[in-house]
Chain A
Amino acid sequence: MDAIATYALRLGDDSLILGQRLSEWCGHAPVIEVDLSLANVALDQIGQATHFLNLAGELEGKGRDGDALAFRRDVMDFTNCLLVEQPNGDFAQTIARQLLFSHYQELLFTALTGSKNATIAAIAAKAVKETSYHATLASDWVIRLGDGTNESKSRMIAGLDWMWRFADELFVMDDIDAAAMTAGVGVDKAALRAAWDARIDAVLAEATLSRPAPRRATTGGRNGRHSEHLGHLLSDMQFLQRAYPGATW
């Protein structure tokens, strides 16, 4: 895959893996309204994944479509960031992941609406409205849980603590990102960091929470160096495609 196809693949993998994770909540959330809203976010992510992965397959030109990419690659070929593959944990941990990711994704998609790749620009234009809702939903819950009971506060702190080491990876610019940016297709992710920090700090302040202490970033997802969690997610997600090769559904 060339840089532009890989760029689309990364966008698709982030959405796919997060959508898959969030869908695990379906039927098990703390209250029906939360069940419905998490399913909404999951559906949006799976929709974005479908568009980005189909595009990556087209750009690759080897006859793979979004399904082939989603269901027939192994861990080392997945390019999602480590944040989205993290386990749901309790509701606070899920919401911590969503807070960090959705604000990033909203800023990213806003910038990508100006992409020279018309398909990426079009997907971003639709998805930015979705992610803006996701960011609001996550922020509202972080505020409720942070400024709720003692228990919810300590759970929210633990959830943020789990996820925080994966935040830096979102903004890393490597060769693929640089090539995509030079081509006018991708954007400078590092430049989104200041706006992201300001948004996260504002939410944490309203939630009466402190920013987690700085720590060494855990990275590698973009190059297929994942956590142990991803393999289990894939073995579940890819079961039918692997068990019945060649069948259509």
Chain B
Amino acid sequence: MYTTDMTGKTKAEAVAEDPALIAAFEARVANDEFIEPKDWMPEAYRKTLVRQMSQHAHSEIVGMLPEGNWISRAPNLRRKAILLAKVQDEGGHGLYLYAAAETLGTSRDEMTEALLSGKAKYSTIFNYPTLTWADIGAIGWLVDGAAIMNQVPLQRTSYGPYARAMVRICKEESFHQRQGYEIMMHLAAGTPEQKRMAQDALNRWWWPSLMMFGPPDDKSPNTAQSMRWRIKRDTNDELRQKFVDITVPQAEAIGLTVPDPALKWNEERGAYDFGEVDWEEFAAVVRGEGPVTKERIQARQKAWDDGAWVRDAARVHAEKRAAAKLAAE
């Protein structure tokens, strides 16, 4: 059950890459072929993927915390079971993604250490607190909804193990999105207190959800290269627009108001115009200055530190078993 330790592996030397290999690689990618772990790939491609996949895995794991905050307080047995299963799914996604990223030569332990030291990032959305039960609905509806927009195209991403992990993850995410919307629908049709709870959750989660697509295209320096490498298939702004266009009618259908005075249907574009995201806030959260960033990292650090003796015991026990087996042969 424990990951293969890859720390002993020698790192690729920083040598100039053969232009013929690069050309062949670019041609395969342009032809929509999958790149597999043993295939030759440019170092920059490998690095970009490790960064993106580990960031994605960390987001799944840190993302367990805000929702996990409500498992013990879920309002009935059915909701409790669904939420627990959902948060468990996120853990499972984290696991596949770490495993997929490990095929590129970075171990899970290295990735975890990068998360805890603040070197590796995770989605900014998980640095906001879950205050009421409606936040569980809002996260499923908006955050998983935004995640699906980001992730559906990744099922066709150029790196094979990543694309395959995403196929399974997307199926589960679409279930998560529906259960979140169903919670909101129920609250919005409930007592005045429940409706207030639902509207308050939408007010707090709307803008952070729009930030999940990343900086605007003119400030996203990596987009062009990532799109050429088929690591990304749509730009941040394209995905953000798509999310707004799908989500606004969903809010209207259950009688909730999207907290954006500038929101207006644009007949000519066939899309909604919407207000400017607070990019200063986004930048601050990326820097680690989100409202509950410290709590999130502290919780992961605590799980990691408190679990150290368990991981050690499992390793030592496995070694004892292996030695005993060898002695018996």
* Chain A residues proximal to chain B, CB less than 8 Å: 16, 20, 23-24, 26-36, 39-40, 42-43, 46-47, 49-50, 53, 66-67, 70-71, 90-91, 143-145, 147-149, 151-152, 155, 236-237, 239-241, 244, 246-249
Q: B186: CB under 8 A from chain A?
A: yes
Main SS of the interface on chain B? helix
For the complex, give the distance between the alpha carbons of A26 and B90 in Å: 11
Q: Do A27 and B87 contact each other (CB < 8 Å), given the known contacts A50-B78, A244-B194, A249-B186?
A: yes
Q: Do A33 and B95 contact each other (CB < 8 Å), given the known contacts A151-B313, A244-B194?
A: yes
Of B73, B307, B310, most A-chain CB atoms within 10 Å: B310
Question: Can you name 30 A-B pairs with beta carbons within 8 Å?
Answer: A24-B71, A26-B84, A26-B87, A26-B88, A28-B306, A29-B303, A31-B2, A32-B95, A34-B310, A39-B87, A39-B91, A42-B84, A43-B85, A47-B81, A66-B77, A71-B75, A71-B76, A144-B317, A151-B309, A151-B312, A152-B312, A152-B313, A239-B73, A246-B191, A247-B194, A248-B186, A248-B190, A249-B79, A249-B133, A249-B187
Min CB distance B84 to A, Å, is 5
Residues of B within 8 A of A29 (CB): 303, 307
Of B85, B88, B133, most A-chain CB atoms within 10 Å: B88
Residues of B within 8 A of A39 (CB): 84-85, 87-88, 91
Task: State whether B72 touches A145 (Cβ < 8 A).
Answer: no
Task: State whether B316 touches A148 (Cβ < 8 A).
Answer: yes
Min CB distance B68 to A, Å, is 4
Residues of B within 8 A of A246 (CB): 191
For the complex, give the distance between the alpha carbons of A147 and B320 in Å: 9
For the complex, give the distance between the alpha carbons of A46 and B313 in Å: 30
Closest chain A residue to B308, Cβ basis = A30
Task: State whether B88 touches A40 (Cβ < 8 A).
Answer: yes
The residue from A53, A148, A241 contacting B313, defined by CB atoms under 8 A apart: A148
Task: State whether B190 touches A36 (Cβ < 8 A).
Answer: no
